[in-house]
Amino acid sequence: MRVPVIVKIAGLTLGATAFYTWVGQLVPQKEVQPPKVVEIAQDVSTDQMVKIGDQIFHGKGLCSTCHVIGGGGAALRFPDLDGVAVRAGKRVPGLTQLQYFAQTLYRPNAYIVPGFNPGMPEIDKPPVGLTDDEIKAVIAFLQTQGGKATITMGTVLPYSKEANGAGPEEMGGDKAADGGSNGAAPAASGGDDA
C-alpha cells in the first residue's frame, strides 16, 4: 500500500515540529529582570557619590557600552569622556558644566557633539531608567574626568523630576546658574581646576 504524498509531508512536518519543540525545552531559559535601583542616602559625601557614579557608569547605566574614557584614538560610537569636565562648561554657550551634564543625560539630542550621530537614549527613561539620584552620582563621576566633583545630593538638576522637567532657562536666575541647589553647596559653574 502506498502512503499518499500529502500524508508523508504532514508526518514530516509534525515530526520536525515535535523534535524542535523538544530541543527548545532543553535550552535553559533566562529571565531578565530590570536592574535594581541604587539606593543613595541623601547625606552621602561627594567622594562617595563619585564611587557610586563610577559603578553606575560601568554597570547599570550602560554608559561604557558606547563611551570610553581615554580610548587612545580608538574608533568611537560616542565621544571619549576623558577630560569631559574641562570641555563641559564650554561646549554649549550659556550652559554651565552642571547644566551641560544634565542636558546631555536627560535630553541627549538637544546638542550633538560635531562628528557624532544622535543615538544616546534619555537615561531617566527605559531602557536605562536611572533615577535622579543615580544621575547625580554619574554626574559626580563625570566631573572627576578632568576636574573636581562639586555636585551634592541636594543639587536640583535641570530636567529632573525635582525641577518638574524644567530646563535651565525655566528654572530661572541664580538657580539656573548653580543647578538649583536647595540650600546645598553650589554645584560647578563651568570651568574646573584641572
Question: Does the CA dihedral 152-153-155-159 come out positive or negative?
Answer: positive
Confirm whether 16 is domain-assigned: no
Confirm whether 56 is domain-assigned: yes
Domain count along the chain: 1
Residue with cell 565621544: 79
Domain residues for 71?
A: 33-178
Q: What pLDDT does 4 receive?
A: 93
Confirm whether 185 is domain-assigned: no
Q: What pLDDT does 37 receive?
A: 82
Lowest mean pLDDT among 21-30, 31-40, 102-111, 120-129: 31-40
In whole angstroms, give the CA distance from residue 60 to residue 22: 35
What's the average model confidence in pLDDT over 15-44? 86
Angle at 102 between CA 108 and CA 45, to 5 degrees: 140
What are 127's three cell numbers? 531602557
Confirm whether 161 is domain-assigned: yes
Q: What pLDDT does 43 receive?
A: 95
What are the pLDDT digits (tens) for 106-137?
A: 999 999 999 999 999 999 998 899 999 999 99
In whole angstroms, give the CA distance from residue 166 to residue 70: 33
Confirm whether 6 is domain-assigned: no
CATH number for the domain that contains residue 61: 1.10.760.10
